[in-house]
Amino acid sequence: MSTDLRGFLAAYEKANPKEFCRIKNEVDPQYEVAAILTKLEELRKLPILYYEKVKGSAFPVVTNVYSTKKKIATSINIDPKKFREKYLEAVESPIPPRIVTDGPVMEQRIDASEVDLKALPMMIYHEGDAAPYITAGVVLAQDPESGQYNASFNRLMYKGRNKAGIFMTVGKHLHEIYSRLEDQGKPLPITISIGNHPAWGLGALYIGAYGRSELGIIGGLLGSSVEMIKGELAGNLFPADAEIVLEGFVEPHLREEEGPFCEFSGYATGKGLRPVVTIECMHLRKNAIYQDICGGQHREHLVVATIPMEANLYQSIKSAVPTVVDVHVPAPFSLIVSMKKRFQGQAQSAMIAAFSAEMYLKNVIVVDEDVDITDLQQVIWAVGTRTQADRDIIVIPGVRGSSLDPSAAAEGVVTKMGIDATAKPSLSAYAKRNKVPKEVMDRLQLDAYVNLDQL
Ligand SMILES: Cc1cc2nc3c(=O)[nH]c(=O)nc-3n(C[C@H](O)[C@H](O)[C@H](O)COP(=O)(O)O)c2cc1C
Ligand SMILES: [Mn+2]
């Protein structure tokens, strides 16, 4: 199993040629990459897209690497049904990184005076995007007290040759690290790696406790330590086998306009005053591939973000309600939970556990175990037939949520809602569901009564 992006791409293309599409015609990073991906999504096609020629840049672009669970599962050699198990195992048994002194990403280096972000094929995807931006950069930063590394995706807005705006959600880990250093008047050293094995996305999107090393989780997912190089600038680590790495600093007490960008919420949101990164150095492999995750509400973003989120939410809810059956994130800020409810009040316990585990979460619907939570028709049926609003809805105003929720009154401050759509007092005591007796269903052979070919 390869542990870098290009190794994964080569293996996946070989084994699944129909899910890998090389585009030879030149495309414009402004809108055209997004247009091709959008048209394919409309046809329900989600191949990895490898753009060989991108206008104005020497780098080829790959996108849609995370577009299906199958691709991500293949990259770590598991069954797509086993994500929850595998992810929680990696969280519980992380494999620490290994420091190395050299690696493929050290093949080429561009120093401070030469760095020019414009060389990268940064995209504009949708009407309403403020500038070209990097979406698939994994930002690594070190907590100043524990020395522990944090990984996260953070959009980086092109602002000049060696300057980018960075969006760090208030309340998430990277923002906390930045705040701790800013309190001391110090800049935050970061590395940004672009073009990583898919396990990196799963690690960067870990939503659990502050201080857990996502590098260890990535190692756990890969089954071996990630190899990291110590940067010269501030000793910050970066992956030895990334395609492209930027080293830089986020300045303290500096805010400039950032955004808006068309986001995973489905809206152009998040215009505000935000910190700025100064890029000091770039490392890259020979023939480096620029990885992109199409900005906005596309499959790729939703699929990759949902895998760690569902694993973590399941675990958090299970500690409050041991009989939780399944969890599903069908849309931004929303969660559906199914459980075998033993006692009244457990649906509410699950809601509170979920809200505590994931800040972005705003609406939770809890249903009984007889509902397939991946079928939204069934979920709405349960809400329609098992809920009374005055009794079954809890509302928690004034809680920290997503800064990208356009319905929030103050930025990032939202009202959380839980809908208890379980049968009351219990499923067994509730009105019986329509069901033809099983014995009759098993006995009766349809083709003895009906000629199906004629229908
Ligand atoms: C493609 C992509 C882009 C993202 N961009 C941002 C961003 O610009 N700012 C942000 O705060 N979170 C962004 N996220 C979500 C964070 O990476 C995610 O919430 C992560 O768990 C935060 O990690 P942290 O709490 O360790 O900082 C993005 C996620 C994806 C998949
Ligand atoms: Mn984190």
Query: Which residues, by Cβ under 5 Å, contact ligand 2, an ion?
Result: 150, 173
Nearest CA to ligand 1 atom 13: 154
Q: Are residues 329 and 379 in the same domain?
A: yes
Q: Which of 143, 149, 153 to mutate to test the pocket of ligand 1 (most atoms within 8 A of CB)?
A: 153
How much of the chain, in percent, has pLDDT values that exceed 90?
98
pLDDT 10s digits, 132-144: 999 999 999 999 9
CB atoms within 10 A of CB 145: 9
Range of the domain at 397: 321-420
Which helix (H) or strand (E) covers residue 244, if one does?
A: strand 244-250
Q: Is residue 425 part of a domain?
A: no
Q: Is residue 442 part of a domain?
A: no
Whether 233 has a pLDDT exceeding 90, the answer reads: no
Q: Are residues 195 and 344 in the same domain?
A: no
pLDDT 10s digits, 317-355: 999 999 999 999 999 999 999 999 999 999 999 999 999
Query: Residue 51 — very low, low, confident or very high, per pLDDT cuts 50/70/90?
Result: very high
Q: Are residues 138 and 263 in the same domain?
A: yes
Q: Is 177 helix (H, G, I), strand (E, B) or coil?
A: helix
Q: Is 69 helix (H, G, I), strand (E, B) or coil?
A: helix
Q: Is residue 309 part of a domain?
A: no
Q: Are residues 347 and 221 in the same domain?
A: no
Q: Is 413 helix (H, G, I), strand (E, B) or coil?
A: strand
Q: Are residues 65 and 144 in the same domain?
A: yes
**Entry pTM:** 0.96
Query: Residue 1 — very low, low, confident or very high, per pLDDT cuts 50/70/90?
Result: confident
For residue 283, what are its two tokens?
Answer: 């490392």
Q: Is residue 426 part of a domain?
A: no
Beta strands in 143-207 (DSSP E): 149-153, 156-160, 163-166, 188-194
Pick the atom of ligand 1 nearest to 156's CA: 8
Nearest CA to ligand 1 atom 22: 152
pLDDT 10s digits, 176-216: 999 999 999 999 999 999 999 999 999 999 999 999 999 99
Residue with token string 């030895």: 240
CATH classification at residue 402: 3.40.1670.10
Counting the structural domains of the chain, the total is 2
Q: Are residues 277 and 392 in the same domain?
A: no
Q: Which of 37, 87, 129, 169 to mutate to test the pocket of ligand 1 (most atoms within 8 A of CB)?
A: 169
Which of the listed residues 256, 271, 301 is the one where a domain comes to its end? 301
- The closest ligand to the CA of 173 turns out to be 1
Q: Is residue 27 part of a domain?
A: yes
Distance of alpha carbon 46 from alpha carbon 42, whole angstroms: 10
> How far, in Å, is the centroid of ligand 1 from the Cα of 205?
7
Four-point Cα dihedral 288, 293, 294, 299, nearest 10: 140
Pick the atom of ligand 1 nearest to 301's CA: 31
> How far, in Å, is the centroid of ligand 1 from the Cα of 234?
23
